[in-house]
Amino acid sequence: MKVRSKVGDDSTSSRIISTPIGKLTLVASPRGLQRVIFGARKLSQTKRARTKTSGHLTQAERQLREYFAGERKKFSIKLDIGGTEFQESAWLALKRIGYGKTISYAQQARLVGKPKACRAVGSANGKNPVAIVLPCHRVIASGGTLGGYGGGLAIKRKLIALEKDFSAAG
């Protein structure tokens, strides 16, 4: 999962999409999706980069639209992300949380084999470069409160509610 292309270099490109939670900026390299950024950010890009990354951006946009329509429960987008070994294990654990479900930071820490690392998984989740795709919004505090979220607590609430609504309907 190591990042091979730096976000914003001449091999990456981006696309801004509108969603029910506001605008998202998607950033991809020729190897896969690198970032889901809350809000619209204009990033410089070359024509060559747009051509080489357009398939990843198109796939990410399509899968996110399906997710927001309740038609997609898991993402199959190729990723080009990287972090420390611990961060990557925490991010991969997010894929194991079922659609419409939530777990605590303590439960996530147990999933990565570090039961005392609750704060560390919270920190790793805060650095998750592809929020929603790797669903860190599904992790809440042990007492049932939401904890933090890169897109803000209002967006975290909306994502959890969206999944619960579609889970109840289907």
Q: Catalytic residue numbers?
A: 136
The CA-based diameter of the chain, rounded to the nearest angstrom, is: 49
How many helical (H) and strand (E) elements, i.e. helices and strands, does the chain have?
Answer: 5, 5
Displacement of CA 95 from its chain's centroid (Å) = 10
The percent of the chain in helix, strand and coil, each rounded to the nearest 5, is 40, 20, 40
Structure tokens at 38: 């809350």
